[in-house]
Amino acid sequence: MLRTTFRKGFNLKCFSKDWNQTRQYSNYTKMTIFDTNVKTIQKNNTVTNVDDPKHYDYLMNEVADRLADRILDIKDIKCGNVLDFGSRNGALFKYIQEKGAKIDKYYMVESSKELLYRDDNNVSQENEDDNNNNKVKPTKILVNSLEDKIEGIEDQSLDLIISNLSLHWVNDLPGVFGGLKRLLKPNGVFLASLFGEDTLMELKDSLYLAEIEREGGFSPHVSPFTKISDIGNILSKNRYTLPTVDTEKITINYDNMFVLMRDLQNMGENNAILKRRNYTSKDTFLAASAIYKHLYGNEDNNSIPATFQIIYLIGWAPHESQQKPLQRGSAKKHFSEISGTSSFGYKFDNDSSIPSILTNENNSVTLSQQQQQQGIEPQQSNDDSINEPFPKTDDFVIKRLDYHGNFHFEKQQQQQQQQDQNKESSDEINKNKDDK
């Protein structure tokens, strides 16, 4: 797995011929970052040591629901033979069925036996009959590690491979991607979600500062996560076609840092770095909690936010029906002829000597700026879309472009600030009048 940080002490292990027989056939040097045996134990503990494990499924269920929507949004998607890689207790299977996907065979692959079979004893007779009559019963495959070769599934036999919040614990991510691609039929789809590098950044910063201040050193307490650019590179190097990667952030508020850490442990998402520190003092944790609240705490309700960056990826197994780029040099026209631009990068209207879009190779300015430089009165934009109200969300920033290519996010903020100031001034004047 590609990582931005490599700490001294990580084992560097080359793939031997015998080792390749049980792995996903990687043929390059791999860096072992995570202890997969410990991660399996942590997942098992979420079932055996927690009174109500379903209480801590909220994040997995939310992302599984969003991923299921993305799957079924694909036009003419075929959900015949499906592999759920790192399925946990099968939340993704439940959401796909609820949304009406037509499935012939469904394979669930998981390294934690307790988690894989967690909900089997909780199914009522009514739901059992419903599953037997109308829904597909999944085939559950237990593996020692998610990096092991999956037995019982032939190459080029799957229409769809999905994975929900499991791939970020894989050491050999390129090798796993390559092994999964071999299982896909031509034009089969691989779609997954995993945590990105900004996940738990508040917790990471707080623990870092507290340990530096209290103990004069630092060891990682939050597992490293993958960069979004690395995911795109891995898809391309494994020859997935039409690769697409995007991301979103989910913010969840907790009472304090210790509640957050408890929930992470009961999700099975606690630290599993190979060379992790086994002991941290109570004083360091108390200091980290105070730092967390001071730096990131919510002023309104005395809680703290935790950020989870979700990376979504999609790639296709090659097929002749897919879109392909034209061969290099096959164009019959120069780009300047298509866009109507001059060799200096300026575009002119037919009935005017004033450039309608004024950009060149080394400098890019807006139309109004160029007109002001030339002493011409700037023309008013006819793009009314920039005056429409902006959607609001707490999870991401929305920016709007006019047809000149100019951002209007800051302008919208300035207008809102000016309106607020005018309102405050008006209220103050009215208050003074009432006092008189």
pLDDT tens, 124-155?
Answer: 444 555 555 557 899 999 999 999 889 889 99
Q: Which residues of 117-131 are buried (b: 16+ CB within 10 A; e: fewer)?
A: bbeeeeeeeeeeeee
Beta pairing, strands 346-348 & 304-316: unpaired
CA 39, CA 31: separation in Å to the nearest integer?
Answer: 17
CA 32, CA 414: separation in Å to the nearest integer?
Answer: 50
Q: Where are the domains of the chain?
A: 36-123+134-199+224-251+307-317
CA 65, CA 76: separation in Å to the nearest integer?
Answer: 20
DSSP state of 313: E
Helix (H) or strand (E) holding 430: helix 409-435
CA 153, CA 230: separation in Å to the nearest integer?
Answer: 28
What angle do helix axes 201-215 and 282-296 make, rounded to 10 degrees? 130
In this prediction, residue 373 carries a pLDDT of 56
| pLDDT score of 296 more than 90 | yes
Alpha helices in 305-357 (DSSP H): 335-339
Q: Is the dihedral of CA 417, 423, 429, 435 positive or negative?
A: negative
CA 318, CA 167: separation in Å to the nearest integer?
Answer: 22
In this prediction, residue 252 carries a pLDDT of 94
Residue type, 406: N
pTM exceeding 0.85: no
The greatest distance separating any two alpha carbons of the chain, rounded to the nearest whole angstrom, comes to 92
For the segment 382-432, what is each residue's pLDDT rounded down to a tens digit?
545 445 444 443 554 434 444 444 544 544 555 666 667 777 777 777 766
Under 8 Å between Cβ of 183 and 83: yes
Provide the CB-side half-sphere exposure for 381 (13 A, CA): 16
Total Cβ atoms within 10 A of residue 307:
17
CA angle 305, 204, 270 (to 5 degrees): 90
Under 8 Å between Cβ of 295 and 205: yes
Q: Average pLDDT over the chain, rounded to whole?
A: 77
Instruction: Tell me the two tokens of residue 42.
Output: 């942590």
Instruction: Tell me the two tokens of residue 301.
Output: 């309700």
| pLDDT score of 199 more than 90 | yes
Instruction: Tell me the two tokens of residue 381.
Output: 């934009």
Which CATH code fits 36-123+134-199+224-251+307-317? Answer: 3.40.50.150
Question: Torsions phi, psi of 72, nearest 5?
Answer: -80, -10
pLDDT band of residue 331 (cuts 50, 70, 90) is: confident
Q: Distance of CA 194 to CAs 26, 85, 148, 334, Å?
A: 21, 12, 19, 42
Under 8 Å between Cβ of 224 and 272: no
pLDDT band of residue 32 (cuts 50, 70, 90) is: confident
- Mean pLDDT of the region 292-296: 94
CA 337, CA 356: separation in Å to the nearest integer?
Answer: 16
